[in-house]
Amino acid sequence: METTLAIYTKPGGGREGNSLRGAPTEEMLQSQELNRLALVEEIHYAGKRKSDRWAEQWVFRNIR
């Protein structure tokens, strides 16, 4: 697998000219992915809770 590193530079050069401050690091990308997965999971469980409540109400209304 080939990895490419993009180097972001600031105009003016100098010591901070080759700063990677603007580049997304692997750690940042992993963090974004984990946040995205957590959000997807949260939405899934919110939907599940809603459907569980709906099922409980249906049973309560229709079994009696």
pLDDT, tens only, 6-50:
655 555 555 544 455 666 788 888 888 888 888 888 877 777 878
pLDDT surpassing 60 at residue 2: yes
Per-domain residue ranges for the chain? Answer: 25-64
Phi, psi of 7 (to 5 degrees): -105, 120
pLDDT surpassing 80 at residue 61: yes
How many angstroms separate the CA atoms of 45 and 51, rounded? 10
Q: Which pLDDT score is estimated for 38? A: 85
Q: Is residue 8 within 8 Å of 21, Cβ to Cβ?
A: yes
